Amino acid sequence: MHDASADLVPGLDPDLDLSRRLHPHWRTEDNLLALLAENARQHPDRVAMREYDHGIWQEYTWARYLQAVLEFAAGLEARGVGPGDVVLFVGDNRPALYFGMLGAIALRAIPSPAYPDQPPEGLAGQIRSESIRHAVAEDQEQVDKLFYIQQHYDCHFDLILYDDPRGLKDQGSLCACQAVTAQGAARLAAEPGLREQLLGRSSVHDIAALLHSSGTTGAPKGIPLRHGHILYGVRNAAAAGYFIEGEEHMAYLPIAWVGDFIFSVGAAIALRFVVNLPESRETVRRDLRQIAPTLYFCSPRTWSDMLTRIQVGIDESTPFKRALYRHFMPFAIGLERRRLEGHSPTWRERIWRQVGEWLVQGPIKDHFGLARVQRPYTAGEAIGEEVFLFFRALGLDLRQFYGQTENCALAAAQPSGSVALHTVGEPFPGVEMRIDDQGEILMRGDNVFDGYYRNPQATAEVLHDGWLHTGDAGYFQEDGQLVVLGRVSEVVHTGQGERFIPTYIENRLQFSHYIQDACILGQGREHLAAIVCIDFRAVGHWAQEHGVPYSSYAELAQQARVVELIAGVVAQTNRVLPEKLAIRRFVNLHKAFDADDGEVTRTRKLRRKVIDDKYRPIIEALYSDQARVEYEAAIVYETGDTGVLRRDLALVTVPAGK
Amino acid sequence: MVIAATVDQADIVLSCTQISRWFGGLQAMKDVSFDIRRGQILGLVGPNGSGKTTTVNAITGFFPPQQGEIRFGGLRLNDLKPHQVAQQGIARTFQNVALFKGISVLDNILLGRHNFMNPTVIGAMLYWWRAQKEEIANRNKVEAIIDLLQLENVRDEPVDVIPLGTQKRVELARALAAEPTFLILDEPMAGMNQEEKEYMVRFILDAQEALGLTILLIEHHMDVVTAICDHLVVLNNGEKICEGLPREVIANPDVVAAYIGKVEVGHA
The mean pLDDT value for A326-342 works out to: 91
What are the start-end ranges of the E strands in A54-178?
56-61, 86-90, 110-114, 134-137, 159-162, 174-176
Measured between its terminal Cα atoms, the distance across chain A in Å is 72
Query: Nearest C-alpha of chain A: how many angstroms from B143?
Result: 5
Residues B105 and B161 in one domain: yes
Tens digits of per-residue pLDDT, A13-27? 667 888 888 899 999
Cβ contacts (< 8 Å) between B146 and chain A: which residues? Answer: 54-55
Cα separation, A553 vs A536, whole angstroms: 6
Q: Is the pLDDT of residue A617 over 50?
A: yes
Judged against a pLDDT cut of 60, whether residue A304 lies above it is answered with yes
Q: Are residues B184 and B83 in the same domain?
A: yes
Same domain, B131 and B213: no
Residue A6: per-residue pLDDT: 41
Give percent of chain A above pLDDT 90.
63
**B223 is a domain residue:** yes
- In CATH terms, the fold of domain A423-488 is Luciferase; domain 3 (2.30.38)
Tens-place pLDDT, residues A359-381? 999 999 999 999 999 999 998 87
Considering the domain architecture, whether residues B143 and B245 belong to the same structural domain is answered as: no
Per the CB < 8 Å rule, is B156 touching A283? no
- In the predicted model, what is the mean pLDDT of residues A148-175? 91
- How far apart are the CA of B160 and the nearest CA of chain A, in angstroms? 18
Q: Do B186 and B70 reside in the same domain of the chain?
A: yes
- Residue B248 at interface with chain A, using a CB cutoff of 8 Å: no
Dist CA A258 CA A412 (whole Å): 15
For residue B56, give the CATH number of its domain: 3.40.50.300
Q: List the beta strands (DSSP E) in A337-418.
A: 375-378, 399-402, 412-413
**Chain A residues with CB inside 8 Å of B196's CB?**
none
Confidence of residue A431 (pLDDT cuts 50, 70, 90): very high
Which residue among B134, B154, B179 closes a domain?
A: B179
Number of residues assigned to chain A: 658
Position A298 pLDDT exceeds 70: yes
Under DSSP, the state recorded for A428 is P
B194 touches chain A (CB under 8 A): no
d(CA A113, CA A255): 6
Last residue of some domain: B150, B179, B208?
A: B179
Nearest to A282 among B143, B153, B206 (CB): B153
Query: How far apart are alpha carbons A248 and A49 in whole angstroms?
Result: 10
Is there a single domain that holds both residue B115 and residue B60?
Answer: no
Chains A, B: CB contacts under 8 A, how many?
23
Work out the average pLDDT over A452-477.
Answer: 89
Q: How many domains does chain B have?
A: 2
Question: Quick check: helix, strand or coil at residue B91?
Answer: strand
The minimum CA-CA distance between B144 and chain A, rounded to whole Å, is 7
Instruction: Say which of B106, B139, B152 has its CB closest to residue A279.
Output: B152
For chain B, what's the residue count?
268
B267 occurs within a structural domain: no
Among A95-104, A570-579, A606-615, the least confident range: A570-579
Q: Which residues of A touch B (CB under 8 A)?
A: 54-56, 166-167, 279-280, 282-283, 286
pLDDT at B220: 79
- What DSSP element (H or E) covers A608? helix A608-614
Judging contacts by C-beta atoms under 8 Å, the chain A residues touching residue B161 are: none
Higher model confidence: residue A582 or residue A219?
Answer: A582
Question: Strands A440-445 and A431-435, how do they pair?
Answer: antiparallel
In this structure, is residue B266 part of a structural domain?
A: no
One domain for residues B127 and B102: yes
Contact A54 B106 (CB under 8 A): no
| Shared-domain flag, residues B45 and B108 | no
Angle between helices A502-510 and A560-575 (to 10 degrees): 120
CA distance A166 to chain B (A): 8
The CA distance from A538 to A2, in Å, is: 59
Domain around B163? 97-179
| Burial grade of A209 (CB within 10 A; 0-12, 13-18, 19 or more) | buried
Inter-chain CB proximity A280 and B144 less than 8 Å: no
The DSSP 8-state label assigned to residue B158 in this structure reads B
Residues of B in contact with A92 (CB under 8 A): none
**Which CATH number does A491-653 carry?**
3.30.300.30
- CA A222 from chain centre, in angstroms, equals 16
Query: Which residues of chain B fall below pLDDT 50?
Result: 1-7, 268
The overall average pLDDT reported for chain A is 89
**Which CATH architecture describes the domain A4-226?**
3-Layer(aba) Sandwich (3.40)
Give the chain A residue whose CA is nearest to the CA of B150.
Answer: A280
- Cα A130–A134–A138 angle (5° rounding)? 110
CB A586 within 8 A of CB A512: no
- Determine the pLDDT at residue A152: 92
Q: Using the predicted structure, report yes or no on whether residue A2 has a pLDDT greater than 50.
A: no
- My answer on whether B162 and B194 are in the same domain is no
Q: How many CB atoms lie within 10 A of CB A523?
A: 14
pTM of the model: 0.79
Nearest CB partner across the interface for A283, out of B140, B153, B206: B153
Q: Which chain B residues are Cβ-neighbours of A639 within 8 angstroms?
A: none
Measured between CA atoms, how close is B153 to chain A, in angstroms? 5
Residue A217: per-residue pLDDT: 52
Is B255 within 8 Å of B261 (Cβ atoms)?
no
Spans of all domains in chain A:
4-226, 300-371+373-402, 423-488, 491-653
Residue B107 and residue B75 share a domain? no
What pLDDT does residue A14 have? 67
Q: Does B143 touch chain A (CB under 8 A)?
A: yes
Closest-approach residue (CA) in chain A for B153: A283
Average pLDDT rounded to a whole number, residues A92-107: 96
User: Which chain B residues touch A56 with a CB distance below 8 Å?
Assistant: 143
**Last-in-domain residue among B179, B201, B233:** B179
Tell me the ipTM for this assembly: 0.70
| Interchain CB contact of B160 with A (< 8 Å) | no
**What does the H/E/C string look like for A383-403?**
CCHHHHHHHHHCCCCCEEEEC
